[in-house]
Structure 1
């Protein structure tokens, strides 16, 4: 199976331009391709997984990835998939986030000896002359066509700033610049980026001739990847300080039955033959498939040792025989106690298990909270300091465990 066929079989390819040329390019290991990462946080999250694994797979086939950090475009903000204007980030915040990305990406991509590049588009976008940009790039874009793009259409009713309107031109210029300076001949991105990516391909061909070797390929990031990484508590991060290895494991262990094989194909290195064999699994066997998914991805991000610890903890907790060493834990200070105890509503809130006391009260009324294995039925329950010094285990619903200690 060629690398292109494998990407298609794993469900990663949504749309392409010049399919036969792209097949020939990537199968021969001659693609220098980029994927952009918006530095809006100081950690990557699991929604970036699909892009990282695509880069990893293409690199193993001999192609060269460029991880483009959007330090320049991050100053503008991409309107795609948004209903309001993104808050502005300072250059210092963007620079810090870019450094954090570099460390995390190195776990997936080999940057040694020029095998992959990491660049920041602030290096060229921040120095552009506005008049030159209008003349050189702006003249190649039709406003009518831009307004027909889905990323703009969905914002027109609520308002689209001229700042954001420039995003397509800036992203297109990225591809044009890297094509000329780095030999970048292919771009990859989520299907919400399709219009922006086509803009880059068209810009190269208009400026350098129709024979210019520039192509696009998109991933299923809007329908699949972008829904990953979100829980009731927020994003699932790759940084262990933000999402512990156990919580990371549990996120994947709890994916929907309908998504487990899809995630195994898209996100793991397991052979397709092995995953296809799981297609016949049902009932409790699907739980085994989820364990495989959770273990493989936790190993990839946090190490095999952390994956084993997370799996042992999860299995033990669900069987009622596990220890709490690797369980997510919140440590309270004496100042959070009143009269030597803390109310159960305050405890749940402090542990981040609920966003409000109102929701905590509803969970208790519905029988959704257990404390050290006992169902909590009284919303006025006070947990004493003596118990907290030993550490108490809160179970929320069927799958969420959390330790709270003093």
Structure 2
């Protein structure tokens, strides 16, 4: 069997594939041109998209050539969702998101060397196509009964689905055929929720061009309770640092469940099988050390945000709980941490009691005073004994921030208002 596919299987990255033996032979035969699509339905991609971007990197590292498609056309339509019809975004907004996502996903592959990546936009060939050409050249090859049988379509029939979303599969299939014709692309990958779209493209190439193509889908990652991976109480974990800070991103992976952390390492880390198996044994032997979680969080944050941001996130996490120097954290890092741990504004002349309430570590001023009296209150990692201590500029980090802690684990940040 193909060594690349064996590794992808071990990592849990193959949920479905068309004709596994033929796919293995195709990959063995020489460099394969493949594509992965990203629709600009938001201003950033998220952790689910990261699975596909890192898969592209693994395939490229094995000698194959990636085509990274950002869907300026399909992003105007939207793949059907089970929850209901998508909101149509303006052409101008989608084009703006295309540029942002091109920059994001382009970071995970190389655009140099013999198997250099190529960035493409399906708006380039879709926008100039007439509706008659589309219906005659593409629609002719799609039996409606098979389109109705798609799971998401079948589930949406009762609540209603527009012809626009119903026809999305034709557009994505046309993308595969267009890349097949223009560049010789013979494989598409995507999430398992895209399997119907992937195989439809394979079938279109067979029907219209009598060509042979392949598809491979990754499983959708879940948490231990079966809910979707990459979602938190505060929302989606984005790759854009302005939407999810590097600190929050690092914390998300650091909090991975013991039962899932090794699965995530296999998907998101480029560590060897031996290294991951050693970390897996550590989860069994000494789970309290959380070595696998730290390796996962460090590796993914390095990949997405860079080593410097990861180091700042680690330093912030340690400093918050008294294991590092808060004064070494930048105002930008403190702002991102504040957004994650919570806290409010301080008025000039506020006391430590005011700060504890504003930071959310005490529910009332009375509770804050009791905590101080019991010796459990800290501001910027220094124990506080005087409840009337005024937090003037000299006592605030960068003249603005008060990191307030109750006991060992309850932390918040209060900021001096403008």
Q: TM-score, normalised by structure 1?
A: 0.82
Superposed CA deviations along residues 138-165 of structure 1, whole A, max 9, x for unmatched, are 1211111111111212212211111111
Corresponding residue number in structure 1 for 2:403: 393
Alpha-carbon distance between aligned partners in 1 of 2:345 and 2:119, rounded to the nearest angstrom: 45
Q: Is the 8 A contact 2:40 2:98 kept in 1?
A: yes
Provide TM-score, normalisation by structure 2.
Answer: 0.80
Distance in structure 2 (CA, Å) of the matches to 1:188 and 1:319:
45
Matches of 2:408 and 2:177, distance apart in 1 = 51
**8 Å contact 1:32–1:66 — kept in the other structure?**
yes
Tell me if the contact between 1:33 and 1:188 (Cα under 8 Å) persists in the aligned partners: yes
- Are the structure 2 counterparts of residues 143 and 189 from structure 1 closer, same or farther at C-alpha, using a change threshold of 3 Å? same
* SS of residue matched to 2:17: coil
After superposition, the Cα gap between the structure-2 partners of 1:201 and 1:166, relative to the gap in structure 1 and judged at 3 Å, is same
Q: Secondary structure at the match of 2:177?
A: helix
Equivalent residues of 2:32, 2:64 under 8 A apart: yes
SS of equivalent residue, structure 1 residue 106: helix
Secondary structure of the equivalent of 2:290? helix
Partner residue, 1:149: 150
Q: 2:295 aligns with which of 285, 292, 299?
A: 292
Where does 1:50-61 land on structure 2 (aligned, <5 Å)?
A: 50-61=51-62
State the SS of the aligned residue for 1:26: helix
Give the match for residue 214 of structure 2: 215
Matched, 1:97 2:107: no
Alignment check: 8 A CA contact 1:47 1:227 kept: no
Shift of residue 112, structure 1, vs aligned partner: 2.8
* Contact 2:70–2:102, Cα closer than 8 Å, also in 1: no
Tell me how far 1:137 sits from its aligned partner: 1.4
Verify: 1:110 aligned to 2:125, yes or no: no
Report if the CA contact (8 A) 2:44-2:100 is conserved.
yes
Structure 1 residues 27 and 309 mapped into 2: Cα distance closer, same or farther (>3 Å)?
farther
Compared with structure 1, are the counterparts of its residues 397 and 60 closer, same or farther at alpha carbon in structure 2 (3 Å cutoff)?
Answer: farther
Preserved CA contact (<8 Å) 1:76 1:164:
yes
Q: What's the counterpart of residue 371 of structure 2?
A: none
Contact 1:393 1:404 (8 Å CA) reproduced: yes
In structure 1, runs of 5+ residues without a counterpart are: 354-359, 365-369, 375-382
Number of residue equivalences: 379
Report the Cα offset of residue 305 of structure 1: 2.6
* Offset at residue 319 of structure 1 (A): 5.2
- Could you tell me how far 1:27 is from its partner in structure 2? 3.8
Point out where structure 2 has 5 or more consecutive residues left out of the alignment: 368-375, 381-388
User: CA 1:226–1:174 in 2, change beyond 3 Å: closer, same or farther?
Assistant: farther
Residue 270 (1) aligns with residue 271 (2): yes
SS in 2 for 1:43: coil
Report what 2:180 is aligned to.
Answer: 179
- Contact 1:2 1:27 (8 Å CA) reproduced: no
- SS in structure 1 of the partner of residue 107 of structure 2: coil
Name the counterpart of 2:386: none
Question: Does the 8 A contact of 2:48 with 2:229 survive in 1?
Answer: yes
Change (3 A) 1:311 1:138: same
RMSD (CA atoms): 3.5
Q: Which residue is equivalent to 1:378?
A: none
